Structure 1
Amino acid sequence: MGVKAASIDEYLDEVDPASRQELERIRVLVTRLVPSVEESMSYGMPTLKYKNRALVYFTASKRHLSFFPSSWAIEELKDRLTDYRTTEHAIQFTLEKPLPTPLIEDLVRVHVREIDADRQ
């Protein structure tokens, strides 16, 4: 990606078609689950915001895709993430082993709950 994307659509335009389709799936899923999300770019990553706070980020790289739901969500659901590489803030996955829809939904619900509780 040569020029920094100004929108999620611009970011996705530069992603290979298979990865783009998977990131679009996540985008649609989160938006359906939390219809009030606002789209933006933050730290060069597609970002869906809830109550003016980052709810999730998602990215594509050469070897994997990443989903950033919050460290709280990762910690709470770590027993369901053992098949994925995780960091404090991110879950890495591949097109061959994507994140299941129910898992994404639960990760998002945890973070929504924490934002609603004004956890910092």
Structure 2
Amino acid sequence: MATIDDYLSDLTDDDAAAIDRLYAIARELVPEAEQGKGYGMPALIYRGKPLLSVIRAKKHFGVYPFSQDAVAAAAPALDGFDHAKGTVRFTADHPLPDDAVRALVTARRDQIDGS
């Protein structure tokens, strides 16, 4: 997969907007993050480490903060969303709230800063 911009350009307008909203929130919190790849996925990179990736799957969107600890830290904001060790899933009909995105990104940023 290519950069975030390349990835978004291949999606429908609605799907690209749903994904770009999450990246916009992440960039507000971590403005120095840059586009790159994390585990082969388009991602925001912070201090050389993957911060966040958001990908369109067949039936949902997947959010990957590259850390099960970040998902665990954000769990109180993820009530009602399907999530596992290192991913959170949402649909267009049930978008991930801004506070949940902020919790994921903040937890991952703090984890990277502490390493």
Note whether the superposition's TM-score is higher than 0.5.
yes
Q: Distance in 2 between matches of 1:74 and 1:92?
A: 11
1:35 to 31, 40, 57: 31
d(CA) in 1 for partners of 2:78, 2:103:
12
- Residues 11-69 of structure 1 deviation map (CA, whole Å, 9 limit, x = unaligned): 11111221110111111111111010010133442200111000111100121001112
Shift of 1:87: 1.7
Aligned to 1:102: 99
Larger Rg: 1
- Corresponding residue for 2:7? 11
* Paired residue total: 114
What amino acid does structure 1 have at the position aligned with 2:86? H
Which runs of 5 or more structure 2 residues have no equivalent in the other structure? Answer: none
Report the TM-score, using the length of structure 1 for normalisation: 0.87
Moved more, 64-73 or 40-49: 40-49
- Quote the Cα distance in structure 2 between the aligned partners of 1:117 and 1:42: 19
Q: What TM-score, normalized by structure 2, do the two folds share?
A: 0.90
Task: Pick from 48, 60, 63 the counterpart of residue 64 of structure 1.
Answer: 60
**% identical equivalent positions:** 28
Aligned partner (choices 72, 75, 80) of residue 78 of structure 1? 75
Contact 2:62 2:89 in 1 (8 A): yes
Change (3 A) 1:63 1:74: same
Q: Which portions of structure 1, spanning 4 or more consecutive aligned residues, are displaced by more than 6 angstroms?
A: none
Residue 24 of structure 1 corresponds to: 20
2:40 and 2:14 map into 1 onto residues whose CA distance is 20
TM-aligned CA deviation for residue 77 of structure 1: 2.3
User: 5+ residue gaps in structure 1?
Assistant: none
Over the aligned positions, Cα root-mean-square deviation in angstroms equals 1.3
Contact 2:81-2:88 within 8 A present in 1 as well: yes
Equivalent residue for 1:93, pick from 90, 94, 97:
90
